[in-house]
Amino acid sequence: KSKGTEPYPSSYKVFQNNLGSKLGGAKNQIDILKEADYNSTTIENEHMSVHFCNTTGLIKSIYNKDLEEFLPLKQEIIDYTTSKSGAYIMRPETPITVYTENTGMKIHFIKGPLVSQVCTYFYPNADHIDLTAAETVICARLFSSRGIPDPIDALEVGGYVQVVYKVAGRHNRETVTRYTTNLQTDKSFYTDNGLEIRERQISGDKTESNYYPTISMAYLLDDKRSLQFTIVTRQPMGSHSKQSGVIENMIHRNLAQDDGRGLSEPPNDGSRIEVVVFLVVQSPVISSRLARRLALSHQHYPRLVWGNAEEGQKAWISKHKHTYVP
């Protein structure tokens, strides 16, 4: 049952946003869509700080303030070239790092009292930079949990990094996100199959033989440090680890050939997709509790619909239905 102003499950409730008028001089408190200073590409909240590479705009480390743990974390976008992969068979050939320090890009950030984010816009083949025509956009966000008394509730708001990938399918490429850490994982990683968490052992040198289904989360665990790096996903995807401390997720496939396994056509998908993940750096005990709650919030997040209420809250409510409970 809901309390106070919280809506019931499967219901909706209208709230009026007076934030702009209350802040008054908002420009003094929020830096909006400002080109990042390469010497200060760091965002933080009450629980963690995230540092970004000054040449690629991607994450390079995460610091957990509660645990006082610093985790070097190299974030990459990798394309596997292929001439044999199809809808059901994965046969990657050469991994290529898509975005490097030589790639055309713009880095923008927002730093405010509720949300801080760094967005990187990539233009590998553009003659000029236009934010609306970026091939790929990657945004990392931190939310403030100030004022939330329950520690687990506070972590559910501010204990993770939200990363949004907006990626277009490239011809005959299988696109992945790779995270390289210094965790000692003894050549193992973990994924959930919808029923339970399964330990996966790295075996052999073939990439395709070490890919496993991930329904809602995958993680690396360092038993000696009692530290866990967890990726909580909004949609199912494949996860892979090629060596200790490294994990990657498949986020897009655009293939030009049929693999003869039943589809009878190539999965030629050049669409632009949006993938949302939560990155958590925590102890195994807290990670276990937090990741389950984050997975649920991924699947059942509130849908926001905005309306103009310039005539005032009372007048708007008199004309529209503002609550619904099934």
**CA-CA distance, 259 to 276, in Å (whole number)?**
29
pLDDT of residue 205: 82
Token readout for 22 is 């209350």
DSSP 123: -
Give the residues across from 108 on adjacent strands.
Answer: 35, 119
pLDDT of residue 204: 81
Token readout for 168 is 């277009």
DSSP 6: P
For residue 208, report the phi and psi dihedrals to the nearest 5 degrees.
-65, -25
Token readout for 279 is 């990155």
Give per-residue pLDDT as tens, 216-244: 999 999 999 999 999 999 999 999 999 99
pLDDT band at 36 (very low <50, low <70, confident <90, very high): very low
**CA-CA distance, 320 to 311, in Å (whole number)?**
13
Residue type, 148: I
Q: What is the pTM of this model?
A: 0.84
CB 251 within 8 A of CB 175: yes
Give per-residue pLDDT as tens, 82-115: 999 999 999 999 898 888 777 778 888 888 889 9
- H helices of the chain, in order, are 19-23, 151-158, 284-299, 313-319
**CA-CA distance, 245 to 223, in Å (whole number)?**
12
| Residues contacting 207, CB < 8 A, separation 6+ | 80, 90, 92, 95, 240, 242
- What is the average pLDDT score of the chain? 84
CB 167 within 8 A of CB 78: no
**CA-CA distance, 121 to 270, in Å (whole number)?**
19
**CA-CA distance, 201 to 242, in Å (whole number)?**
10
H-helix or E-strand spanning residue 295? helix 284-299
| Residues contacting 178, CB < 8 A, separation 6+ | 74, 75, 76, 77, 78, 246, 247, 248
Give per-residue pLDDT as tens, 273-283: 999 999 999 99
